[in-house]
Structure 1
């Protein structure tokens, strides 16, 4: 009798899907493959460790960049190479160093240009 094949993923993939920084997760999470059912359960009913990580961090670079309103490349240009906690992110926003202000402005310009180009393409009739 064959068992149903349950797909699993590496802990790094699961952490990415949960928007958490893998090294900050419990050892049990880091060391074992995660099934799709387990991932769905973590998303539906996050345990305390997951709630705490999402609230306080440390956060992965993509979330740090989003919270700071900059690109991931902008983080690197600003010298931010490690995961940051919510407290560290808030301190950076409060301090607003020159690099952060410049990267925010640059990022907003890129977003404006992307919206402009998208609007131009939306106005053009499609060829069949």
Structure 2
């Protein structure tokens, strides 16, 4: 059974949409593998915080936004389902032997992608 994934938008105390906020989930191609990013923040002018989970098979996109609400006030929080985990899992990954070098290379490409997307020079990892 498949479920559509989404992330709710930000609203102020008057239930009005916060115009400069971001709440999106997107899949990007990183080294020819679809990898999913959850991007949430109440102001896109804030710095970027890229969260890397514990490695293959340990995804957090499905639940993490419930624990990072305070961070989303001060950062654009980006949760990344890394290669082989969660929404980034592919049957091509089944039984694969991932290397640290692959994860580092993927991370560098994800960093470049989000820096360009938000027109920033740096981020917090």
- Structure label with greater radius of gyration: 1
Pairwise TM-score range, normalised by the shorter structure: under 0.3
TM-score (norm 1): 0.22
User: When you count helix as a share of all residues, which structure comes out higher?
Assistant: 1
User: When you count strand as a share of all residues, which structure comes out higher?
Assistant: 2
TM-score (norm 2): 0.22
